[in-house]
């Protein structure tokens, strides 16, 4: 009997350690989202999470559920919150410098003391309400002027019998508040500084160019272009 009880407790303890209940020195994880700078947690459910003071700078939180989430004092500089559900959340004293809130749903949220500088509002316009004054402003402007693409990938294009085929385009940028994406001469706006989207490519046997242009408050950065063949 004692041996069986010992084995049961040993198995339970091992399971707890394997599931993370035994504690860890690594970053916190919520619903599979690693809470750290530049994390990629698009469309993850973080509702009700306590992320007080978390460093989520440059994080991809597009489409994320942040209903009732505590982000007071969080570092969200350069974070992509486009399309996020920010309902009844606490963003008091959070730093939203250069964050992208395009198409986000914001309702009943506490933004007292939040820093808004180069922040893209839900309608895509820029909010500079909390930008530093005088010399500090110049430093911030120079820092955001060098918007650049740091990662740009295009999925495989396989044309068979279909007239058009979708390919996935993903990107990451530095010092950008948004990007513009062009397929040949057709340009689309409203994309966050990092993320992914599907483009419909004509299967007409011709090469097609996909161009990503990063943008900051100071204007457009250097565009990056990749060609795909529709043979």
At residue 134, the pLDDT reads 53
All structural domains of the chain, each given as residue ranges with its CATH number in brackets, are 24-131 (2.160.20.80), 148-229 (2.60.40.10)
DSSP 8-state code for residue 115: B
Distances from the Cα of 51 to the Cαs of 71, 101, 121, 159, 218, in angstroms? 5, 18, 22, 45, 31
| Cβ–Cβ under 8 Å, residues 191 and 180 | yes
Bridge partner list, 165: 201
At residue 14, the pLDDT reads 40
CA distance 132 to 128: 9
Digits of tens for pLDDT over the chain (231 positions)? 444 444 444 444 444 433 344 345 678 999 999 999 999 999 999 999 999 999 999 999 999 999 999 999 999 999 999 999 999 999 999 999 999 999 999 999 999 999 999 999 988 898 888 887 754 444 444 444 578 999 999 888 888 767 888 889 999 999 888 989 998 888 888 789 999 999 888 888 888 889 999 988 878 888 899 888 877
| Cβ–Cβ under 8 Å, residues 71 and 53 | no
At residue 189, the pLDDT reads 80
Helix (H, G, I), strand (E, B), or coil: what is residue 174? strand
CA distance 205 to 224: 23
Distances from the Cα of 133 to the Cαs of 126, 128, 136, in angstroms? 17, 11, 6
At residue 28, the pLDDT reads 92
């Amino acid at each position: 009997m004692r041996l069986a009880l010992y084995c049961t407790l040993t198995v339970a303890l091992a399971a707890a350690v394997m599931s993370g209940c035994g504690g860890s020195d690594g970053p916190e994880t919520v619903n599979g989202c690693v809470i750290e700078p530049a994390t990629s947690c698009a469309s993850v459910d973080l509702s009700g999470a306590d992320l007080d003071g978390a460093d989520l700078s440059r994080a991809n939180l597009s489409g994320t559920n942040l209903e009732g989430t505590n982000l007071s004092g969080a570092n969200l500089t350069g974070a992509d919150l486009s399309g996020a559900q920010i309902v009844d959340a606490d963003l008091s004293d959070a730093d939203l410098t250069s964050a992208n809130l395009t198409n986000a749903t914001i309702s009943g949220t506490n933004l007292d003391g939040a820093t808004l500088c180069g922040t893209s509002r839900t309608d895509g316009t820029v909010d500079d309400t909390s930008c530093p004054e005088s010399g500090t402003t110049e430093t911030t402007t120079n820092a955001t002027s060098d918007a650049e693409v740091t990662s740009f990938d295009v999925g495989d294009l396989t044309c068979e019998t279909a007239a058009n085929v979708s390919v996935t385009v993903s990107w990451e940028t530095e010092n950008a508040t948004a990007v513009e994406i062009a397929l040949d001469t057709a340009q689309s706006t409203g994309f966050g500084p990092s993320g992914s989207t599907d483009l419909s490519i004509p299967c007409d046997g011709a090469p097609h160019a996909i161009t990503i242009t990063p943008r900051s408050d100071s204007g457009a950065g250097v565009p990056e272009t990749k060609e795909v063949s529709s043979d």
